[in-house]
Amino acid sequence: MTRLLVTGGSGQLGLCFQTIADEFPYYDLFFPTKNVVDLTRPKTLQTFYESKPFDGIINCAAYTAVDHAEEKRDWADAMNSHSIQNLVEFIEVKKVFLIHFSTDYVFDGEINSSYREEDLTNPINTYGYSKREGELVLSSCKGRHTIFRTSWLFSPFGKNFVKTISKLSREKKEIQVVNDQRGKPTYGIDLARMLLNNMNHPHFFDYKCYHYAQGSATTWYDFAQKIFAIIGASTQLEAVTSDHFPTVALRPKNSILNTERIEKTLSLKIPSWENALKRCLKRIQSNETI
């Protein structure tokens, strides 16, 4: 049986792994709290390994508060960059593998097409910069590893666009949503399930970076429209530009991830985000969360 340490188990993506863990009885997944394994304190990782040896790490731990990162740069760097160096040193010594997650925000959004894995990174906010730094740390890692960049993550857990819009539809008569930012939504449970289904694929570690996002590109406004259609919301939805919602951190106008590499390498058929959204909202409405 393959034993896996999942860091950041109480975060949105970590909870997605927890909720499908029973589907994979041939994996033994550990979900220690941050009090037990804190990647900014490498000794905790070593201590946990001594008590429960594992074969690989799925690193869901990250600082993801995009606007707060502008004011808490040290926190973002500690979790998204410095802690990755601790992971690199650990996996090189212990000979275990590492699966890490990054973000579409490593790109500046200035191209008119979709971003491929090898395209130049040029983050425009502190969060994106800290995640890019983590990628650069991993680029010199001699241990077996790969990175999954993803975008517009949603799930029944934590704070995300789907849950926020669903909540606002019950509280507001009218909602404004930006229509000048384009990307691809990603259902966290589909991402977790895809990874666990394919981790033993002979070509899984052939590349050091993959893009995983779902379906065709959309805007936040069109995404919200689909949410409203599924839940039957009567709230009025108005499309506005990003200028109507000034934020502390800049957002890329185009962060569409090209997923051809992972589809070809792993022979994947990625579900559309529309299909995934229906399944996510059904879980939320049925309170099928943990």
Q: What is the DSSP string of 124-172?
A: SSHHHHHHHHHHHHHHT--SSEEEEEE-SEE-SSSS-HHHHHHHHHHH-
pLDDT digits (tens, 9 = 90+) for 183-214: 999 999 999 999 999 999 999 999 999 999 99
- Asked if the model's pLDDT at residue 103 lies above 90, the reply is yes
What's the chain's average pLDDT?
A: 96
Q: Which helix (H) or strand (E) holds 222?
A: helix 220-231
Domain ranges of the chain: 2-159+184-214+254-274
**Residues 1-36: tens digit of each pLDDT:** 999 999 999 999 999 999 999 999 999 999 999 999
Active site residues: 127
Beta strands in the chain (DSSP E): 2-7, 27-30, 56-59, 97-103, 145-150, 153-154, 174-178, 182-183, 186-187, 209-211, 218-219, 236-240
Mean pLDDT of 56-74: 97
What confidence category does residue 287 fall into, taking pLDDT thresholds of 50, 70 and 90? confident
Classified as helix, coil or strand, 50 is helix
C-alpha 107: how far from chain center: 15
Task: Report pLDDT for 289.
Answer: 43
- The CA distance from 255 to 145, in Å, is 24
| % of the chain exceeding 90 in pLDDT | 98
Is the CATH number 3.40.50.720 carried by domain 2-159+184-214+254-274? yes
Check pLDDT > 90 for residue 159. yes
Residue 34 corresponds to which tokens in the numbers above?
């941050």
What pLDDT is stored for residue 288 in this prediction? 44
Radius of gyration of the chain (CA): 19
Query: How confident is the model over 104-144, as pLDDT tens digits?
Result: 999 999 999 999 999 999 999 999 999 999 999 999 999 99
pTM of the complete model: 0.96
